[in-house]
């Protein structure tokens, strides 16, 4: 590991030790050295509360340069938000490769397992504005900046491996359609409106990505629990100049998990910062999010072996056809110090590559290579955004680009051109030959055309593959999502067009979606007659790809999962103790939720601290609920509508629920089956209070059963249609 890498990867070991930064700040303010308040010129400010006036009751004087400087700076605090991906959250960390990838790529950061390459990762939603909610149904951006010794490498991907459109020419149209409608700026951060579905239904190439966007992938439980994808086919090029096509994957250690749609919508109101808070808190608490970097590599001569085109970004390479090799891991272990300076000012670009990583001719990628620098120039105010600390390369940067807005570098000397011979009388040379970035010398000698390749013409086979690969519950969620979204579309013709298209994915899916939309049954033939429709069916050797399902991913760990313990005066605190310990030992976090903050008195007159109320920490903030024993406490809970709603809503959202002793009655009164032998999936019932079991092993068993139920994330197979929460 180079000194520079070490220094960068190990900068300020703050994360996991939240107190350290605070202590540093405190130390600065309690020492004799309290920083003085100054103007931007360093002039000490004597009074930060009063402007300069003509007499205490007189008008403020224009002369007050201190006031003017402060207000002027404030007036210019905002920069334009990103045109897409405006809302984001980010973190620092590092990447390390497991073993040298030199056989495939010359990229230096993929050679030595001893090297920790610093990274900065920004997650985002696409459609919403900067202040929009985190849990909206949307694609999530997953952009990683690797600070390598060969320059910055940006892997600017999403949490969905395919894209809506095949050519960058359509990107502005796609974004204009999905963002709030231009005449009234409604709706915020939602695709459920006419213009999006109008566009999507007229662009059948979007069908595959729509299937993903309607799945629970688009409402992640946590940014830490989603996959990332480079989407396009890229190239690895080794030192001998040999190329492999490559698809990039990020595989989350915690598995891939989604929210319930009803839950996601409610969280958007109750805690719009749900995802960024979750990321921030897990890093502050030392639970560092982790992903493995996976690659699918395809030799150059196998380019045409798949039945679909590797250059088509609406297609993925099924893992069953080309396995994902896990080649390294990324750990996020430090929160940003300053949201604006880092998360907001970070500038990603798919064209920031290093030797050994190159592009394919995917026409979507090719367009992106123009867009990103261009957008940073207007968003970050000029051509020097690469000098901002978060964007600065960690290796030396040297060229003759000069000046421009906000230039930081002070270039010295007479020479700002090349070739030159004025420095030491020597000619400046660019180290040519095989050094530096070499584009893969792909042979191209075609005519200029403005046309789509016929090899991009299959729009439904992989959409069908995705749908076929989902579990029963996942399919149901997709049906429900299409129903919800299209029911928000006012124009019946758009709804009809969309379900007609869906009939080419799956007849039954289309029919079930159409059923609730007040339109005719889906008409596959009508879809086939419309402009934009193509059905040049390619043969896929597989009908299902289990790797496309989120079911049973992750290691079943409950680390960082949140469990609510519902309490009221009179609950049996002793019955809780062993179960709570078991849950916490497994790594989940318990919070006591009651009717008020402060404490409640247990049946044995113990004071039990309450962390949150039914109102300020509703069940949607938790992964699981524990109802303790205690006749009086449970009676009070049963008389409290908020408490009843809390438990029922968690049940409706298919979360793990455990009830002990009298707590079981609460489940029964809510209509939740509470027979220990025939409890619904994910419901753990201990009819006898644990303290009365007289056996620590029994308490442990309950805790273990509950932990196992939480570890499954959600019990989607639970029948909850009739639950009124
Ligand atoms: Fe893009 C931002 C990902 C297609 C133009 N894009 C942006 C970000 C991500 C992606 C993650 C946010 C980066 C950050 O956190 O700052 N974009 C994608 C993926 C695409 C894609 C995975 C398809 C596979 N994008 C795409 C196209 C174009 C753009 C086809 C234009 C031709 N994207 C932009 C942009 C943004 C951007 C306008 C807005 C803010 C920014 O770049 O820095 O240039």
Instruction: List residues bridging with 119 in a β-sheet.
Output: 93, 146
Question: Does the pLDDT at position 292 exceed 90?
Answer: yes
**Under 8 Å between Cβ of 207 and 460:** yes
User: Is pLDDT at 242 greater than 90 in this prediction?
Assistant: yes
Question: Whose C-alpha lies nearest to ligand 1, atom 4?
Answer: 368
Instruction: State yes or no: pLDDT of 55 exceeds 60.
Output: yes
**For 588-628, how does the pLDDT look when each residue is reduced to its tens digit (9 = 90+)?**
999 999 999 999 999 999 999 999 999 999 999 999 999 99
* Cβ neighbours of 387 (radius 10 Å): 16
* For residues 6-13, average pLDDT: 41
**329 vs 7, residue with greater confidence:** 329
Q: Where are the alpha helices (DSSP H) in 381-491?
A: 461-468, 472-487
The rounded percent of the chain whose pLDDT value lies above 90 is 86
User: Is 304 buried (19+), middle (13-18) or exposed (0-12) by CB count in 10 A?
Assistant: exposed
CA–centroid distance for 405 within its chain: 33
Q: What is the pLDDT of residue 577?
A: 87
Give the model's confidence band at 16: pLDDT under 50 very low, under 70 low, under 90 confident, else very high: very low
- pLDDT at site 14: 44
391: annotated active-site residue: no
Q: Active-site residue 232, yes or no?
A: no
Question: 350: CA distance to ligand 1 center in Å?
Answer: 8
* Active-site position among 152, 158, 384, 501: 158
Over residues 680-694, mean pLDDT: 77
Closest CA to 261 of 124, 136, 140, 160: 136
Q: CB within 6 Å of ligand 1 — which residues?
A: 82-85, 88, 122, 124, 141, 143, 156-158, 163, 168, 171, 231-232, 313, 346-348, 364, 367-368, 371-372, 375-376
Cβ–Cβ under 8 Å, residues 446 and 454: no
| Residue 642, number of CB atoms within 10 A of its CB | 14
Please give the Cα distance from 379 to 385 (Å, whole number): 9
> Does position 426 have pLDDT exceeding 70, yes or no?
no
- How does strand 562-566 pair with strand 624-627? parallel
> How confident is residue 418, by pLDDT bands cut at 50, 70 and 90?
confident
Identify the pLDDT of residue 7: 41
> Going along 238-321, which residue ranges are E strands?
243-252, 290-299
Convert the pLDDT of each residue in 437-455 to its tens digit.
999 999 999 999 999 999 9
Q: Whose CA is nearest to atom 11 of ligand 1?
A: 141
Is it the case that residue 563 has pLDDT exceeding 50? yes
Q: How far apart are CA 317 and CA 298, in angstroms?
A: 10
Q: Based on the number of CB atoms within 10 Å of its own CB, is 254 exposed (0-12), middle (13-18) or buried (19 or more)?
A: buried
- Verify cis geometry, omega within 30 degrees of 0, for the bond prior to 187: yes
Give the closest residue to 217 by CA, choosing from 269, 176, 256.
256
Distance CA 418, CA 23 (A): 50
pLDDT at 420: 84
What is the H or E stretch that residue 331 is in? strand 325-334
pLDDT confidence tier of residue 691, bands split at 50, 70 and 90: low
pLDDT digits (tens, 9 = 90+) for 192-205: 999 999 999 999 99
User: Residue 695, SS3?
Assistant: coil
Total-model pTM: 0.94
| pLDDT tens-digit series, residues 378-413 | 999 999 999 999 999 999 999 999 999 999 999 988
* Site to substitute for ligand 1 among 90, 119, 138, 156, most atoms within 8 A of C-beta: 156
User: Which of 79, 85, 250 maximizes ligand 1 atoms within 8 Å of its Cβ, making it the mutation to test the pocket?
Assistant: 85
Q: Rounded mean pLDDT of 351-359?
A: 98
Would you say 313 and 208 are in contact if contact means Cβ atoms under 8 Å apart? no
Q: How confident is the model at residue 5 (pLDDT cuts 50, 70, 90)?
A: very low
8 Å CB contact between 491 and 518? no
More confidently predicted of 448 and 539? 448
Over residues 678-691, mean pLDDT:
84
- Range 411-424 average pLDDT: 86
Model confidence pLDDT, tens digit, residues 654-673: 999 999 999 999 999 999 98
Report the chain's mean pLDDT, rounded to a whole number: 93
CA 677 to chain centre: 39
pLDDT tens profile 448-494:
999 999 999 999 999 999 999 999 999 999 999 999 999 999 999 99
Average pLDDT score over residue span 355-371 = 98
pLDDT at 527 over 90: yes
C-alpha 361 to ligand 1 mean position (Å): 17
Torsion sign, CA atoms 464, 468, 470, 475: positive
- pLDDT for 626 equals 97
Of 85, 193, 244, 249, catalytic: 85
Question: Closest ligand 1 atom, CA of 375?
Answer: 44
pLDDT reading at 689 higher than 80: no
**pLDDT at residue 673, as a whole number:** 85
pLDDT band at 19 (very low <50, low <70, confident <90, very high): low
Hey, whose CA ends up nearest to atom 22 of ligand 1?
157
Contacts 24+ apart (CB under 8 A), 385-393: 385/345, 385/347, 386/347, 388/341, 388/345, 388/347, 389/341, 389/342, 390/120, 390/341, 390/342, 390/345, 390/346, 391/145, 391/152, 391/345, 391/346, 391/347, 393/147, 393/151, 393/152
Q: Which of 81, 119, 141 to mutate to test the pocket of ligand 1 (most atoms within 8 A of CB)?
A: 141
pLDDT for residue 531: 87
For 14-23, 49-58, 95-104, 680-689, which range has the lowest pLDDT when averaged over its residues?
14-23
Q: What is the pLDDT of residues 99-153, one digit of tens each?
A: 999 999 999 999 999 999 999 999 999 999 999 999 999 999 999 999 999 999 9
- Atom in ligand 1 nearest the alpha carbon of residue 346: 16
At residue 433, the pLDDT reads 61
Testing ligand 1's pocket by substitution, the residue of 154, 157, 310, 348 carrying the most ligand atoms inside 8 A of its CB is 348
CA 393–ligand 1 middle distance (angstroms): 21
Listed residue (539, 543, 356, 560) closest to 439, CA to CA: 356
Residue nearest to atom 27 of ligand 1 (CA): 368
């Amino acid at each position: 590991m180079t000194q520079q890498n070490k220094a960068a990867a190990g900068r300020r070991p703050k994360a996991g030790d939240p107190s350290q930064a605070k202590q540093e700040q405190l130390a600065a303010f309690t020492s004799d050295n309290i920083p003085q308040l100054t103007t931007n010129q360093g002039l000490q400010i004597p009074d930060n509360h009063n402007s300069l006036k003509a007499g205490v009751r007189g008008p403020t004087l224009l002369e007050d340069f201190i006031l003017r400087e402060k207000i002027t700076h404030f007036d210019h605090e905002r920069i334009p938000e990103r045109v897409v991906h405006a809302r984001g959250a980010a973190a620092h960390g590092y990447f390390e490769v497991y073993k040298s990838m030199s056989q495939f790529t010359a990229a230096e950061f993929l050679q030595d397992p001893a090297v920790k390459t610093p990274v900065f990762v920004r997650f985002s939603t696409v459609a919403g504005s900067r202040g929009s909610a985190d849990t909206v149904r949307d694609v999530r951006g997953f952009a990683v900046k690797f600070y390598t010794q060969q320059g910055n490498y940006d892997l600017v991907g999403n949490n969905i491996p395919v894209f809506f459109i095949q050519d960058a020419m359509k990107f502005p149209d796609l974004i204009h359609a999905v963002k709030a409608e231009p005449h009234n700026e409604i709706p915020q951060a939602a695709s459920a409106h006419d213009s999006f579905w109008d566009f999507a239904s007229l662009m059948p190439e979007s069908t595959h990505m729509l299937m993903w966007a309607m799945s629970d992938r688009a409402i992640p439980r946590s940014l830490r629990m989603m996959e990332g994808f480079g989407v396009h086919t890229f190239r690895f090029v080794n030192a001998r100049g040999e190329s492999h096509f490559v698809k990039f994957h990020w595989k989350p250690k915690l598995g891939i998990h989604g929210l319930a749609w009803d839950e996601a919508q409610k969280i958007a109101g109750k805690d719009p910062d749900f995802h960024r808070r979750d990321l921030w808190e897990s890093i502050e608490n030392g639970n560092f999010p982790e992903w493995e970097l996976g690659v699918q590599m395809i030799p150059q001569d196998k380019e045409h072996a798949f039945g679909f085109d590797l250059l088509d970004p609406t297609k993925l390479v099924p893992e069953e056809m080309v396995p994902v090799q896990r080649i390294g891991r990324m750990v996020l272990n430090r929160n940003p110090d300053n949201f604006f300076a880092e998360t907001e000012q970070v500038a990603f670009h798919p064209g920031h590559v290093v030797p050994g990583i190159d592009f394919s001719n995917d026409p979507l990628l090719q367009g992106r290579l123009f867009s990103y620098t261009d957008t940073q120039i207007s968003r970050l105010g000029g051509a020097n955004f690469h000098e901002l600390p978060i964007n600065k390369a960690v290796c030396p940067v040297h060229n003759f680009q000069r000046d421009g807005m906000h230039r930081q570098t002070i270039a010295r000397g007479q020479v700002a051109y090349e070739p030159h011979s004025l420095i030491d009388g020597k000619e400046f040379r660019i180290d040519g030959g095989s050094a530096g970035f070499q584009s893969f010398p792909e042979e191209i000698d075609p005519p200029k055309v403005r046309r789509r390749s016929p090899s991009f013409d299959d729009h439904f086979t992989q959409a069908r593959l995705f749908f076929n690969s989902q579990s029963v519950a996942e399919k149901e969620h997709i049906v429900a999502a299409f129903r919800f979204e299209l029911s928000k579309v006012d124009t019946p013709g758009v709804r009809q067009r969309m379900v007609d298209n869906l009939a080419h994915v799956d007849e039954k899916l289309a029919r079930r979606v159409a059923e609730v939309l007040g339109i005719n049954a889906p008409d596959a033939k009508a879809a086939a007659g419309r402009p934009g429709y193509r059905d040049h069916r390619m043969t896929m050797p597989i009908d299902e790809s289990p790797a496309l399902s989120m079911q049973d991913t992750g290691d079943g760990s409950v680390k960082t999962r949140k469990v609510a313990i519902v309490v009221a005066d009179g609950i049996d605190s002793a019955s809780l103790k062993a179960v709570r310990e078991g849950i916490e030992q497994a790594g989940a976090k318990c919070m006591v939720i009651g009717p008020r903050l402060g404490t409640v008195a247990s049946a044995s007159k113990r004071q039990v601290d309450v962390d949150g109320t039914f109102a300020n920490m509703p069940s949607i903030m938790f992964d699981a609920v524990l109802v303790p024993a205690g006749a009086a406490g449970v009676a009070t809970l049963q008389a409290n509508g908020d408490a009843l709603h809390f438990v029922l809503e968690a049940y409706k959202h298919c979360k793990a629920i455990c009830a002990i002793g009298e707590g079981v009655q609460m489940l029964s009164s809510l209509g939740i089956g509470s027979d220990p032998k025939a409890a619904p999936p994910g419901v753990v019932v201990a009819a006898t209070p644990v303290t009365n079991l007289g056996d620590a092993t029994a308490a442990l068993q309950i805790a273990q059963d509950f932990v196992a139920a939480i570890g499954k994330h959600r019990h989607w197979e639970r029948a909850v249609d009739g639950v009124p929460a």
